[in-house]
Amino acid sequence: MAQYVLSLDQGTTSSRAMLFDHDGKIAGMAQHEFAQHFPKTGWVEHDPMDILTTQLSAAVEVLARAHVRPRDVVALGIANQRETTIVWERESGKPVYNAIVWQDRRTADFCAKLHDEGHEETFRNKTGLLIDPYFSSTKISWILDNVDGARALAEQGKLAFGTVDSWLIWNLTSGKRHITDRTNASRTLLYNIVEDRWDADLLKLLRVPESMMPEVVWSSEKVGRVTTTLGLGDVEIAGIAGDQQSALFGQLCVNPGDAKNTYGTGCFLLQNIGDTFTLSKERLITTLTCTTNKKLQYALEGSVFVGGAVVQWLRDKMEFFEKSPDVEKIAASVDSSNNVVLVPAFTGLGAPHWDPYAGGMIIGLQRSTEIGHIARAALESIAFQVTDVLHAMQADTSVGLTTMRADGGAAANDMLMQFQSDLLGIPVERPAILETTAQGAAYLAGLATGFWNDVEEIAKTRPEGQLFIPRMDPAIARKRYLKWQDAVNRSKGWNKETA
């Protein structure tokens, strides 16, 4: 019988499960969306049980669809939305509060206070991160301070914290393993990525008991088996990575200088910088990558909070169309955005601006403006934000990229990929398999279990992708980009008085 690796790709808006064969090809996929909760302005939550049940349902469904038995699955890999914070009772396994999503901005004032007290350099030098509501630590503090009885339980050692990978593995192993991998740990603002440990000083500063923290493992190693009651047999869990580091590995960006951008709910540009911890001068962050040799490796990262999610917003809130792929047809109904610029700062601005108070904005509306112009401006906003990050990264590393690798669901949009190439002035390479996040988790699990011998073996099976070459006059591209920068500056600080 053929053998497979099962990859669980737990994202911000949906849970997916994918089977990969030995050639790295997709043998099956199942996906379930789940509800987004917005209790207050700037707040974003998920029900942890929704995350779990949709992920388990997708996993069982993909096996059934592909007619694959659990015993034919040699390993399971997990990629997950990062920074999203879940706290649960160790005894019952019950969450004490909803998952606070990475996009959530409720701790902006707390972060500003930490910054004003002069703590930013301490955090940067230990974690590689900036003080921002994006990361997990202030979310944990919020839960302990705002959920009745939570702090007392935490101080008694009765609560567990985890990013989504930890929550899934806790449940997949029936509470036997409370773990996370280094890539996810490095997103909490509590993990010292120089000394490779939870940092006692930072935990004390944030008033987070160390007893809540999961054990930290490598991204590619056997960590435990799935309990048989879940319909997945007793498959070995052997790969764990935050979704963007997983995509970096899925694109085989394993050497210094290799870079990719994932066009998902947000956009995430990562460049491998090797085994030396280096801080950004351009307000990017330094993070840990996946390795298979049990040695630390670093990447620079720029995070855009709203990428493909702007299309979801047009679909669900504006009701411009019924299905997300329809945006390309509507955007193509006009020749240009007609001077309309959309800044999708729905949850503030990420890199390189880091403004939690920025507000979303559409500017340049005229009597002649049509839905097509706004749809086109929405697509272009994704590429503009990635360009912001790439310019910052190039200033940091002094390494000019000759090609950018793209992946993620929104990368399927030809118009977006072409506009991105035009703005950057370099080719954009889209792989044959866009699901590199799930693919990376599969590679990590398969390498840990001997399904693949090494990265070189995997590289031989990868089919060629599609290349988008710049077509726009560079002067016009520059003019468009300056217009974008003007709009972004106008959006900054918009929500400060009402936050």
- DSSP notation for 39-105: -STT--EE-HHHHHHHHHHHHHHHHHHTT--GGGEEEEEEEE-SS-BEEEETTT--BSSPEEPTT--
One domain for residues 308 and 173: no
Which of 228, 251, 274 is at the close of a domain? Answer: 251
pTM as predicted = 0.85
Tally of domains within the chain: 2
Decide if 460 is inside a domain.
no
Is 297 assigned to a binding site? no
One domain for residues 261 and 201: no
Q: Show the beta-strand stretches assigned E in 243-384.
A: 259-263, 267-274, 285-288, 298-304, 341-343, 361-363
One domain for residues 247 and 259: no
Is 16 assigned to a binding site? yes
For the record, the structure tokens of 272 come out as 């491998």
One domain for residues 86 and 151: yes
One domain for residues 259 and 351: yes
Which of 218, 251, 284 is at the close of a domain? Answer: 251
Is 82 assigned to a binding site? yes
One domain for residues 246 and 257: no
* Residues 6+ away with beta carbon under 8 Å from 475: none
Q: Show the beta-strand stretches assigned E in 264-399.
A: 267-274, 285-288, 298-304, 341-343, 361-363
Is 134 assigned to a binding site? yes
Which of 191, 221, 251 is at the close of a domain? Answer: 251
Distance separating alpha carbons of residues 24 and 322, to the nearest angstrom: 32
For 483, the domain range is 252-430+469-499
Is 450 assigned to a binding site? no
Before 95, cis peptide (omega within 30)? no
Q: Are strands 99-100 and 45-46 parallel, antiparallel or unpaired?
A: antiparallel
Distance separating alpha carbons of residues 119 and 115, to the nearest angstrom: 6
Task: Name the 3-class secondary structure at 306.
Answer: coil
* Chain position carrying tokens 């839960």: 143
Decide if 462 is inside a domain.
no
Decide if 128 is inside a domain.
yes
Decide if 28 is inside a domain.
yes
Decide if 414 is inside a domain.
yes
Q: Show the beta-strand stretches assigned E in 275-379.
A: 285-288, 298-304, 341-343, 361-363
Is 243 assigned to a binding site? yes
Is 312 assigned to a binding site? yes
Query: Is 26 in contact with 435 (CB distance < 8 Å)?
Result: yes
One domain for residues 83 and 171: yes
Q: Among candidates 400, 404, 373, 361, which has minimal Cα distance to 386? A: 404
One domain for residues 151 and 236: yes
One domain for residues 241 and 264: no
Is 210 assigned to a binding site? no
Is 413 assigned to a binding site? yes
One domain for residues 194 and 276: no
Question: One digit per residue, pLDDT tens: the chain, 499 residues?
Answer: 669 999 999 999 899 999 999 988 899 999 999 999 999 988 999 999 999 999 999 999 999 999 988 889 999 999 999 999 999 999 999 999 999 999 899 999 999 999 999 999 999 999 999 998 989 999 999 999 999 999 999 999 999 999 999 999 999 999 999 999 999 999 999 999 999 999 999 999 999 999 999 999 999 999 999 986 667 778 999 999 999 999 999 988 888 888 899 898 889 899 898 898 989 888 899 999 999 999 999 999 998 989 999 999 999 999 999 998 899 999 999 999 999 999 999 989 988 998 989 999 999 999 999 999 999 999 999 999 999 999 998 888 766 678 889 998 889 899 999 999 999 999 999 998 888 899 999 999 999 999 999 998 998 888 888 999 999 999 999 999 999 999 999 999 998 875 4
Number of neighbours of residue 313 by Cβ within 10 angstroms:
17
Decide if 440 is inside a domain.
no
Which CATH number covers residue 344? 3.30.420.40
Decide if 224 is inside a domain.
yes
One domain for residues 168 and 109: yes
Is 91 assigned to a binding site? no
Phi and psi angles of residue 458, each rounded to the nearest 5 degrees, phi first: -65, -45
Decide if 398 is inside a domain.
yes
Query: Distances in Å between the alpha carbon of 183 and those of 40, 207, 259, 430, 452?
Result: 30, 23, 17, 24, 22
Is 81 assigned to a binding site? no
- Specify the length of the chain in residues: 499
Is 105 assigned to a binding site? no
One domain for residues 348 and 419: yes
Q: Show the beta-strand stretches assigned E in 118-170.
A: 159-162
